[in-house]
Amino acid sequence: MALAKVMTILVLFVSASLSFAQSKDIGHISIRVSETGLEFAKDFFIREVISTTIPLQLPNIEKKVKIPLIGKVRMGLSNIRIYAVDVQSSRIETGGNGIVLSVSGATADLSMDWSYTYKASFFQISDHGDASVKVKGMDLKTTVTLVDDNGSLKIATRESDCKVKSIGIHINGGASWLYQGVVDAFEKNIISTVENNVSNQILEKLKKLDSFLQSLPKERKIDGNVAVNLSFAGNPVLGDSSVEVEISGLFLPSGSGVVASGHRSSSISRGDDKRMVAISIEEEVFNSATLVYFDAKRMHMVIDKSKNGSTLATSDWKLILPELYKLYPDVRMMLDMSVASPPDVSITENGIEAAIHLEISIDVQNSGAVLSVARISSVLNVAGSAEIAEKNLAGSLRLLDFNATMKWSRIGELQASYIKDVTSTILEELFLPNVNTRLKRGFPLPFPHGFTIKNAGIVYVENGVMVVSDIASY
């Protein structure tokens, strides 16, 4: 007894301090990008940067140069373009200072036009032609830090540094002195132009990425009256080669501005799955969904057709409800079903379970009017299984057990076994198939647009569901 009391106090104390510690925004969906996911993101980013910047036009360079035996020559390089970049080795690292992407020993190919003029006695001598430049040993280091800014993810700092070891210049045509003249006068300039413009291009791309991140919607509408809160909750956590972000994930009544809040389920243990992304969805998300759908009066259905599409009639129920058939032979019947309170969802390693309190009214068409002939109250326990359908989390429910009571009836007292049979038929043949039709469509998972998911899997854990997946670009 005393021990139980101590335990209760301890539990209360712990949960109180937890809720104090988490009095600020909390996330109920966490998205963890693993080492393989970061590798994928890195390669994707590098490919994107190259394909959207190449060819890169660099500014013209012009100079007066003193050439032995000739004198002052005005030389210019124009139409300088980087038209190819080859990255062989790159790394991504995470740590206290942010996410660091480094490229080492990349090469680039440039093309350019050269021209010169100088005065010799009374003549103006000029010539022009083209040249190619091979950039060797280009090292790049880019660092970003990400923060949560009022529910959006924002790049707080970005740095980019580019260093070129050496270049090789090949000149087509021109006088014999030209090659050395260009190397002496322009080598350093070409290197610094490449260095500055390449890092500026990368900073430019990061700026775009930042506006993209900030333009991500903070809410996603599911339908007319339900939405999901996609606000980021807290700064990303940089682990040892992983990045984890949390989003609220709770369902909300759409467009109402009502703030849904949930308490944190104890945190989900993540295992060591090697797939690129792990999305952990807490039990709270499921419970917020049932609450919002319940409040929006969406947990009510009237069914007047059987699974095969034929109209329900008392004649079909002759065997399980003989009294009904006797009083109302061959008339249409309807089942009006309402969930009486938001279903409570709980998740363990064994899967998802929920308890649903359902009020069932058996109605018949009686000389033009709908007449309620009996009312059954049932509590059913269902097991849910989740699955991935496209980029949605879909699922289905299956009946575990149920109880039922007849609340009142116009067709006389029914035996308990009849009530059980009727309820079982209603649940198995009508209610669950209808609910499952909806659940089959699923709810969107926070995967980025423009990618497909593959090798997706579902892991049930204490208090949550984890979706693990790899990502591929189209």
Ligand X SMILES: *[C@@H]1O[C@H](CO)[C@@H](O)[C@H](O)[C@H]1NC(C)=O
Q: Which residues bind ligand X (CB under 6 A)?
A: 25-26, 58-59, 150-151, 192-193, 196-197, 200, 218, 229, 231, 233, 248, 252, 259-260, 306, 308, 310, 316, 379, 403, 405
Q: Which residues pair with 309 in a beta bridge?
A: none
CB of 25 to ligand X, least distance (A): 4
| Closest C-alpha to 297, from 328, 340, 256, 329 | 340
* Torsion sign, CA atoms 228, 232, 234, 237: positive
Q: Which residues pair with 151 in a beta bridge?
A: none
Residue with tokens 């775009």: 208
420 near 404, Cβ under 8 Å?
yes
Q: What is the rounded distance in angstroms from the CA atom of residue 111 to the CA atom of residue 133?
A: 6
- Cβ closer to ligand X: 390 or 429? 429
- Cβ closer to ligand X: 220 or 459? 220
| Closest C-alpha to 307, from 404, 387, 420, 426 | 426
- Cβ closer to ligand X: 150 or 269? 150
Q: Which residues contact 11 (CB under 8 A, 6 or more apart)?
A: none
Give, in order, the Cα–Cα distances in Å from 302 to each of 312, 406, 426.
12, 19, 12
CB of 230 to ligand X, least distance (A): 8
Token pair belonging to 403: 């109880």
Q: At 312, phi and psi to the nearest 5? A: -75, 135
CB of 123 to ligand X, least distance (A): 33
Burial class (CB within 10 angstroms; exposed 0-12, middle 13-18, buried 19+) of 78? middle
- Cβ closer to ligand X: 151 or 433? 151
CB of 79 to ligand X, least distance (A): 14
Q: What is the rounded distance in angstroms from the CA atom of residue 454 to the CA atom of residue 471?
A: 6
- Cβ closer to ligand X: 93 or 109? 109
- For 118-176, give the DSSP string: EEETTEEEEEEEEEEEEEEEEEEEEEEEEEEETTEEEEEEEEEEEEEEEEEEEE-S--T
CB of 232 to ligand X, least distance (A): 7
Residue with tokens 């034929």: 310
Q: Which residues contact 415 (CB under 8 A, 6 or more apart)?
A: none
CB of 438 to ligand X, least distance (A): 20
Q: Which residues contact 296 (CB under 8 A, 6 or more apart)?
A: 225, 226, 253
Q: How many CA atoms lie within 13 A of 11 on its CB side?
A: 7
- Cβ closer to ligand X: 316 or 387? 316
CB of 234 to ligand X, least distance (A): 8
- Cβ closer to ligand X: 143 or 197? 197
- Cβ closer to ligand X: 47 or 307? 307
- Cβ closer to ligand X: 17 or 192? 192
CB of 77 to ligand X, least distance (A): 12
Q: Which residues pair with 473 in a beta bridge?
A: 451
- Cβ closer to ligand X: 252 or 394? 252
Burial class (CB within 10 angstroms; exposed 0-12, middle 13-18, buried 19+) of 13? exposed
CB of 185 to ligand X, least distance (A): 15
Residue with tokens 């359902």: 358
- Cβ closer to ligand X: 351 or 433? 433
What is the layout of strands, in order, in the sheet containing 237-239?
Answer: 237-239, 242-247, 29-33, 277-282, 464-473, 451-461
CB of 334 to ligand X, least distance (A): 14
- Cβ closer to ligand X: 58 or 276? 58
From the centroid of its chain, how far is CA 147?
17
CB of 255 to ligand X, least distance (A): 10
- In total, the chain counts a number of residues equal to 474
CB of 247 to ligand X, least distance (A): 8
